[in-house]
Amino acid sequence: MVQQQSALENLAPRLLCGVRSLDLSSPRVMGILNVTPDSFSDGGALGAGAGSGSSGFSVSVDKALRRAERMCEDGAAIIDVGGESTRPGADAVPEQQELDRVIPVIEAITRHLDVIVSVDTSAPAVMREAGLAGAGLVNDIRALRRDGALEAVAATSMGVCLMHMQGEPGSMQRAPVYDDLIAEILAFLVHRVADCERAGIARARICLDPGFGFGKTLTHNYRLLHDMPQLLSAGLPLLAGLSRKSMIGNIVDRQLDDRLAGSLAAAVLAAMLGARIIRVHDVAETVDALKVFQAMQSMS
């Protein structure tokens, strides 16, 4: 625990996100805003009208803006806008369709709300256009490995969250195997950070996500949570996304809409173990849980 506290104290106090910076002196909440018809938890919730299937799905910018506004009121420091589902087995989305979904929403949020906007994408064109629309952070499950992604982010002042994933969303949960889970995740992330720095992306713009649920079994996920402090040796802030995931549902035996208690427990544990950004669906409840955690921390 002493070693973990020392590692946290050595982290940069802020994450640079374009024209804004995120204060990381305490854990911050990232609210999930999926503008998709098929995301695992809330797909279709922000559609423009009933009856829109995945092929004809269109986004209601007004609904998305109202949802973002509520999350800001509830204490979200970042709004993470995603236009392509990355749930296990998800199909790829054409680039233009992803642009059509996320760019109007990002523009509306940055025009009306005082908050950092993140774009959840692996597509270089979406990264570039999102930056022009006002996004301050790229949240990429593929850690900028697509052709042109490194260059797209390097050409902006946006921050980036690099995530570990074994495989691709369509196949990542087909019997993932590791010889040394933590060592392999850490080595991958450190390598990607080095690639970012060579491309001109400063460390002050980078945070890391170990990728709970992305190419990992139930046992892998809980081992990763238990040993997450080891990832602090990379010297960069950690983001943890556990909200409503099957690693919680499989333990508490609850369906998606009944996983709040488990998600809050996971959020507090992640914060205790070193995460500085907690990515969630339930912003108000998570902010409250983290306030209690912070009150306890302030006694040490």
Distance CA 274, CA 231 (A): 9
Cβ neighbors of 2 (< 8 A, separation 6 or more) are none
Residues annotated as catalytic are 245, 279
Distance CA 185, CA 122 (A): 19
> What is the full DSSP assignment across the chain?
-HHHHHHHHTS-SEEEETTEEEE-SS-EEEEEEE-SS--TTTTTTTBSSTT--TTT--B-HHHHHHHHHHHHHTT-SEEEEESS--STTPPP--HHHHHHHHHHHHHHHHHH--SEEEEE---HHHHHHHHHHT--EEEETTTT-STTHHHHHHTS--EEEEE--SS-TTTTTSS---SSHHHHHHHHHHHHHHHHHHHT--GGGEEEE--TTSS--HHHHHHHHHHGGGGGGG-S-EEEE-TT-HHHHHHHT--GGG-HHHHHHHHHHHHHTTEEEEEES-HHHHHHHHHHHHHHHTT-
Return the C-alpha torsion angle 182, 138, 35, 247, nearest 10. Answer: 10
Q: CB of 286 within 8 A of CB of 278? A: yes
